[in-house]
Amino acid sequence: MIPSNKFSLVLFFVLSVICFQVTAESTEIAPPPAPTIAASAYILQDYHTGKVMAESNADAKLAPASLTKIMTVYVIFRELSNGHLHLDDTVSISEKAWKTSGSRMFVELGNQVKVEDLLKGVIIQSGNDASVALSEHVGGSEEVFAEMMNQHAARLGMINSHFKNSDGLPVDDHYTTARDLATLTTALIKEFPDYYRWFSQKEFTFNKITQQNRNKLLSRDESVDGVKTGFTDDAGYCLVASALREDMRLISVVMGAKNANARANENQTLLNYGFRFYESHRLYQGNTSLNEARVWKGANKTASLGVAEDIYVTIPRRQYKDLKAVINVDKKITAPVAEGSKLGSVKVTLKDEVIINKDLVALKAIDQGNIFQRLSDSVIMMMEKPEDGK
């Protein structure tokens, strides 16, 4: 009888799902140091794994200017997704929204404007007036809306951020960080892929006025599909960019560049570095069986085990062949087993360094067996020879 207790299975990525095909060249080249970026703070990270490939002052609390609007839009998207708001709802433009200074969508006092148009005005035209109008409509006031922004920031783990308004105009105690903005952008793309497409739109016309998206990378690099620019005298020139090449998405954040061209150039430098010297792979698909484990005293004799969500890895190029994975399954799994119960682990190493360690979970619940199944398994379990040294 093959023992059903804890075991290890070393995988060399030869087959799909559990093993992976090796395509990398045999020559190993370590990535060069990250480029030096002329900005107050910056970060470059992989969307799927959060792997940071370059950073400087990424946790410094800085004025975000219109990068604030990424959080404004995120909150609105959440309200849309939970049914509290609809794209064709109309918003009455208040005097405060109409008078808001800086970049504008040019909404008119007292007019009724659709939520969808205001969102495009925020995303594409960076309209401060549109941001205030939406915040007042959703929160009742911009102050209440700012508290909603802070609540979402806390939930997302943006521990060094605090918002006081929806548009990013200078005000005391209003700040965020490059790292927190990367976290926010990751959440926005992951949670709202259908709405995210608006961030790649290069122009928008409202009230017979056409304005261009200020993100110059949308025209320079076809792989770039967002995200948002910002500028004030206090914040300098800022840009959060995201690019997708093949199956790899990177997010770059540059804060405090010297001019509009510089913020585009520095983001492009970061993105090119990441794509040139790193690669990203999905190793395991979430909620897909990776292993069948023996279950004792259950209505079923086996349980399908897998990982709760897709597992990605970001590694230097030409090191794919050095990846190894080990699946460990708990011994003596006894029913009942709840769906999602931790029953082992998946550990991935690169040159003996652990880079991933995820729970192996039950994909379906296993109920306790009837009296005969339980008695039969109890006898078998007592007769089984224990492992040496156990």
Active site residue 200: no
The angle at the Cα of 110, spanning 105 to 112, to the nearest 5 degrees, equals 70
Place of tokens 């060069």: 32
Nearest partner of 348 among 362, 363, 329, 328, judged by Cα: 328
Dist CA 226 CA 251 (whole Å)? 9
Active site residue 40: no
Nearest partner of 240 among 224, 252, 258, 249, judged by Cα: 252
128-139 vs 68-81: helix axis angle to the nearest 10?
40
Active-site pick, 40, 51, 69, 131? 69
Walk across the sheet containing 248-257 and list its strands. 52-56, 41-46, 248-257, 236-245, 224-232
Q: Which residues make Cβ contacts (< 8 Å) with residue 252, sequence separation at least 6?
A: 42, 43, 44, 240, 241, 242, 243, 267, 270, 271, 274
Nearest partner of 327 among 5, 55, 8, judged by Cα: 8
Q: Which residues make Cβ contacts (< 8 Å) with residue 143, sequence separation at least 6?
A: none
Active site residue 66: yes
- The three state secondary structure string of 276-337 is HHEEEEEEECCCCCCEEEEEECECCCEEEEECCCCEEEEEECCCHHHEEEEEEECCCEECCE
Active-site pick, 4, 103, 126, 131? 126
Active-site pick, 4, 66, 166, 252? 66
Specify the DSSP class assigned to residue 19.
S
**Cα 323 to the chain's mean position, in Å?**
24
3-state secondary structure of 52: strand
Dist CA 71 CA 8 (whole Å)? 44
Which residues are known catalytic residues? 66, 69, 126
